[in-house]
Amino acid sequence: MTTNQQAFDTARALIPGGVNSPVRAFGSVGGTPAAMVKASGPYLTDIEGKTYVDLVGSWGPMLLGHNHPAVVDAVHTAVDAGLSFGTSTPSEARLAGLIADIMPVERVRFVSTGTEATMTAIRLARGATGRNLIIKFAGCYHGHSDGLLAAAGSGLATHALPDSAGVPEAITSQTLVVPYNDEDAIKEAFETYPDQIAGIITESAPANMGVVPPNPGFNTFLRDITTKHGAVLIMDEVLTGFRATAQGGWGLDNVDWAPDLFTFGKVIGGGLPVASVAGTAAVMDLLAPTGPVYQAGTLSGNPIAMAAGYATLSNATDDVYATIAQRSTQLQTMVSEALSAEGVNHSIQHAGSLFSVTFGTADTPVVDYATAQSQEAFRYGPFFHAMLDNGVYLAPSVFEAWFVSAAHDDQAMNIIADALTAAAKAAAAATA
């Protein structure tokens, strides 16, 4: 039998760091990554044959659970018809129509990754306004395109600095990085750079620094100030879309406005590589071939991915979302009670069904990246490994959301409950 360590050693000899996305390497929690080979319902199975309750869900797409029969059948049917055509297919318009039925968008352009979607949205914002500067928030992740791998400068409204080797400062200087939930910082940016800001990109409910909900009215403020200054509002729903609620993070606000552009991903592909930029016809029709803003992709709108996405969304019924919401609330309570029983200072951050745990923050509200970073992150590694040892797979970073699916039944929840007892003790005993 091949062990997880052997699988990781083989991968490291061929793949940088042994992984194709950095968080998978267990860098922040230590230990050897589990190499998964099978999934079903709420469970994952690794190469050693050990089964885990999965609370990652492929980072969100597995809304219905792994290997849902309707999704698998749709993929098999699509595969039988051909893997890829390099042409338009009816399945593209079918999935676009379903998205437009659920969300307030008029046009949808499919791409293969969330990075492509956000990169295209920013290009559209610049093309629509003739301006260069983009505002983003510290701690919000919008993919790894150069202009978005930006760290805050020395002041609230200064040009950003590269956050990665290989990113030219000339590119990140077109990005202004400001604290999340800080309306004054946004106002200052527009006052400092009048008629220069093309748009704001924001996660509708940030979930890449842990879950950090927007303050009441914050997203509406972003809509109002971008409208006032003729800038484009981009709401990144790659992670939250069709996941936090049926209408994503935008659906949490119960508002009568919409951003100019959304970016979607994850759930709309049902586990296959799909993302999209979507929004008003006025902005979206600037894309080639109808407009001057260029974007293209050889595998964009792949028919197998379209089938998986359509099957996932069309089976995401009200009952599915009700089950996920109920299980999420149940899990949040279980986690908090277990940690409290061991005297572990913590808080639970949530946005719809998405949530995360922050350690040492019971008396310090987590409202932005700085407060998220100030937590007692050293407690998470022992907590994570205790959960893993007891059959529960969590995200291998404290700065990630927890995901449940409609397939998480009583049996799965009982396994989680049992694991939490040991995990809470491990978190309590952890030292910096």
Pairing of strands 261-265, 232-237: parallel
Q: Which of 378, 372, 374, 338 is nearest to 356 (CA)?
A: 372
Instruction: Tell the burial category of 417 from Cβ atoms under 10 Å away from its Cβ (0-12, 13-18, 19+).
Output: middle
CA dihedral 404, 405, 409, 413 (to 10 degrees): -10
| 18, two tokens | 């042994």
pLDDT at 155: 56
First vs last Cα of the chain: how many Å apart? 36
Place of tokens 């492509």: 116
CA dist., res. 302 & res. 308, Å (int): 10
**pTM for this structure?**
0.96
Active site residues: 141, 236, 266
Q: Which of 112, 74, 124 is nearest to 94 (CA)?
A: 74
Domains parsed from the chain with CATH numbers: 4-67+318-429 (3.90.1150.10), 69-314 (3.40.640.10)
Contact 177/147 with Cβ under 8 angstroms?
A: no
Mean pLDDT by 10 residues, the chain (432 residues): 96 97 94 97 98 97 98 98 96 98 98 97 98 96 91 65 88 94 97 97 96 97 98 98 97 94 98 97 98 96 98 98 98 98 97 97 94 96 98 97 98 98 98 91
pLDDT at 158: 65
Contact 13/6 with Cβ under 8 angstroms?
A: no
| 134, two tokens | 């983009």
